[in-house]
Amino acid sequence: MSLTRQDRLQALGLWPIWRLRTATPVEPELAVEHPLAESSAALTAASNMPAAVIEEARLRVETEVAAPLRPALERPPASVGSDAIETMDWAALNAAIRDCRRCELAKTRTQAVPGVGDIHAEWLFVGEAPGANEDRQGEPFVGDAGQLLDAMMAAIGLARGRNVFIANVLKSRPPGNRDPKPEEVATCMPYLERQIELIQPKLIVALGRFAAQNLLATDTPIGKLRGQVHRYRGVPLVVTYHPAYLLRNPLDKAKVWEDLVLARRTMNELKQ
């Protein structure tokens, strides 16, 4: 059955087309058509239309109007660009991280993990990426690795949330805790860079090879990065092993103690 425009409008209860009434006559060329105006006559006409005609009109609206609009309605909001991140305050930055869709990790994570702690901290600890526990709880370094990090900090007189901020290079968990991809790092690093700019820490402790190499823009092995004070954009940076690595290699805890002593001594010197 072929429907005219009038048939389709009648089936939807939108016919006849009513013209806007005014107190004074309207010139013919200024008459306003309002195809969405409702009236009891139009509804009555639609109710008397055959069911097949109504269904055909409904399908036409679905395929010709609704379907083309649906992709735009369902598309997630575009993520902010790096230029916008550079000017964000702390609240806007946290919101952008939690809502981020800048890489494919947004499709597999449970939630993003911005970081935790004192936003005016002198100490900044930076790890690699959220693990399974962090992905569930929304906080970095929880579970066994988190407990070990807390013990490491306590050994030099620090505590989570007290003059300490903890973050990761990546804010979303890679599936299966795989190594982050270079494009994921490139996409996520502006968030960490802005966090460092806002916190303005006196000292950064890079936890593990991944964090150290990305902050220092080097591929030097972690064994050669330890034992010295580096600089990240002018901020002193000390490298040590990641707590998760220590859980698998407990004999290296002595080396970590050496790194923490170096970090503590460096902080003391900065305050003199």
The predicted-structure confidence for 236-253, as pLDDT tens digits, reads as follows: 999 999 999 999 999 999
Q: What mean pLDDT is predicted for residues 63-90?
A: 62
The tokens describing 74, both together, are 């369902």
With cut-offs at 50, 70 and 90, classify the pLDDT of residue 72: very low
* Whole-angstrom distance, CA of residue 170 vs CA of residue 59: 46
CB-count exposure of residue 250 (10 Å: 0-12, 13-18, 19+): exposed
Please, are residues 97 and 189 in contact by the beta-carbon 8 Å criterion?
no
Q: What mean pLDDT is predicted for residues 183-202?
A: 96
Q: What mean pLDDT is predicted for residues 150-156?
A: 96
Domain 83-270 -> CATH class:
alpha beta
Share of the chain above pLDDT 70, in %: 70
Within the chain, all domains assigned CATH 3.40.470.10 are found at 83-270
* Whole-angstrom distance, CA of residue 60 vs CA of residue 97: 41
pLDDT number for residue 80: 63
pTM of the model: 0.71
Strands 116-117 and 203-207: unpaired
Q: What mean pLDDT is predicted for residues 24-38?
A: 43
Residue of 191 and 42 predicted with greater confidence: 191
With cut-offs at 50, 70 and 90, classify the pLDDT of residue 7: low
| Token pair 């580096």: residue | 230
Strands 123-127 and 203-207: parallel
* Whole-angstrom distance, CA of residue 116 vs CA of residue 141: 9
Give the residue from 156, 227, 216, 167 showing the smallest Cα distance to 191: 167
